[in-house]
Chain A
């Protein structure tokens, strides 16, 4: 699905910027997220690269053009809430936060280290802008639903966005929340499924089939959009469409590639988690992401 004009909700990019400029800026952010993800996981000696890389373009679109969030302020009424329900992908969240100034770029490389606020899964008491602590799959979605409810009750103009993994959808709580959001007509809630077809041990199909997925969401009362989760114009225009849905929560089923951008990781279940990258692997990944010698040194050594 593509739409003629890309709409920018948040002013991070001037609304009158030509679409090509918007796409270029978001692509730059996504590239930053991928490089930063590799570097921080290399430095940590562990982490989940596959699912972070697969949602990089989605996060870049959300933070670049959709979410009304600002590093400088925390307006409780106007601020959109973003929840990374698949919390293990947090290197990507930390990176997009760093890109937009919510935290320091170098500090955010200290992933999973004692004393660092960049824990192995996001914690709101360490980093307020992550909005809620996640890591237990399924819960972030319910929390996001609670936020959307609270916004409605208080007549806030803001919206709640939540990114879920496809394996995460096997949690019963997700469907409790899906039913509940539709029942309460939470049209200020937008879910994005990072549909990379893989989970921890193997593919969804091997572990527990989740198809027919769009039908499931529709049956639960959601407005469903199916998109290419790496096509920036398509993500942006669909987020815009979702924001104008009334009476129903909306879900973007974003088809993605786990490990996207790093050829040796793409579609490889081995790159889900507990990954200890060697120096050579990290360099190869960064080179594939277009980093030059100098940039690679800076990311891995400084």
Chain B
């Protein structure tokens, strides 16, 4: 499914890169195509991948100091006079400027982008205070805000271009940890479109971000249990791909969502809202169970908080059992 021996365009988003590094490299590589692009930083360029951009285009990096609220609202002002601002920072700290994103960006319908690194348990040892497990829920609730969470470095590079080409406010999650390459050079990223990345007919595993790789692993585990699992990469959480969800609900009759986020308000909620409307079926939710994180390595944390492949597989078995009970 993926090819590690990739050519020139994939210099951005190569295997082993974290999503934040992939974002920063992509931004640096394509900046010349977007003359109005400026990147806003609050003293975390070294952590968000933006150091790549700063190195290539120092004059287009605007430093705001450790002042996220001012940075977020200023992006609205920059966009108002024709610039293309990309607000960058750690997810948990950009959430502190939620209301600025709401009023000065989305309510004003500004063409500004918000790109947040360090989401979820994937943050690791920095601990609970630093792990944004609520950002998707919060930003998804803002009218007009598109919410994106790509799954691998290459898709992150593609998504970086896509959000710059897209007209309107976007919140995009990247990621802190090294990420494995899931998609080949022929991968296409389109805002608002989910993609079936593995075929199956008993259940659909719908995942975003780091959970897509875990969902693929879960599908492997499920073979032993005699369950054929379909895997959907739902990189756009808002607007959610309701047609694809209807089709998967119809064809597989059971769904499991998986996300590195609180089970409330994120991908699972978005999927449930859509499925309840178009084709109700059993849904199981894999995510952090309405609690805060803690310190540990990302994989340890994922296991501790039950969002790794075996837990996704368990949930899939439950969803299938519920489906069969219903039938």
Partners in one complex: yes
> Which residues of A approach B to under 8 Å, CB–CB?
76, 81, 123-125, 131-136, 138-139, 142-151, 153-154, 156, 172-173, 176-177, 179-180, 183-184
Instruction: Beyond A142-B77, A177-B67, list 8 extra A-B contacts (CB 8 Å).
Output: A76-B82, A134-B103, A142-B72, A142-B100, A146-B79, A156-B81, A173-B70, A176-B67
B74 contacts which chain A residues (CB < 8 A)?
142-143, 145-146, 149, 177, 180
A124 CA to B75 CA in the complex, in Å? 15
A134 contacts which chain B residues (CB < 8 A)?
103
B67 contacts which chain A residues (CB < 8 A)?
173, 176-177, 179-180
Give the one of A133, A134, A143, A148 with max B CB within 10 A.
Answer: A143
Contact A76 B104 (CB under 8 A): no
The dominant DSSP class at the A interface is helix
Contact B65 A183 (CB under 8 A): yes
B316 at the interface (CB under 8 A from A): no
> Which residues of B approach A to under 8 Å, CB–CB?
38, 62-65, 67, 69-83, 85, 99-100, 103-104, 107-109
Q: Can you pick out 27 interface pairs between chain A and chain B where the beta carbons lie within 8 Å of each other?
A: A81-B80, A131-B80, A132-B76, A132-B80, A135-B103, A136-B103, A139-B103, A142-B69, A142-B70, A142-B72, A142-B76, A145-B70, A146-B79, A146-B81, A147-B78, A147-B80, A148-B77, A150-B77, A150-B78, A173-B73, A173-B100, A176-B69, A177-B67, A177-B73, A179-B65, A179-B67, A183-B63
- For A133, give its contact among B62, B71, B75, B108 (CB under 8 Å): B108
What distance in Å separates the Cβ of B104 from its nearest Cβ neighbour in chain A?
A: 5
B104 contacts which chain A residues (CB < 8 A)?
132-133, 139, 142-143
What distance in Å separates the Cβ of B168 from its nearest Cβ neighbour in chain A?
A: 13
A150 CA to B82 CA in the complex, in Å? 7
User: Which 5 pairs across A and B sit closest by C-beta, in order of nearness?
Assistant: A146-B77, A146-B74, A142-B73, A150-B81, A176-B70
A207 CA to B78 CA in the complex, in Å? 33
B83 contacts which chain A residues (CB < 8 A)?
150, 153-154
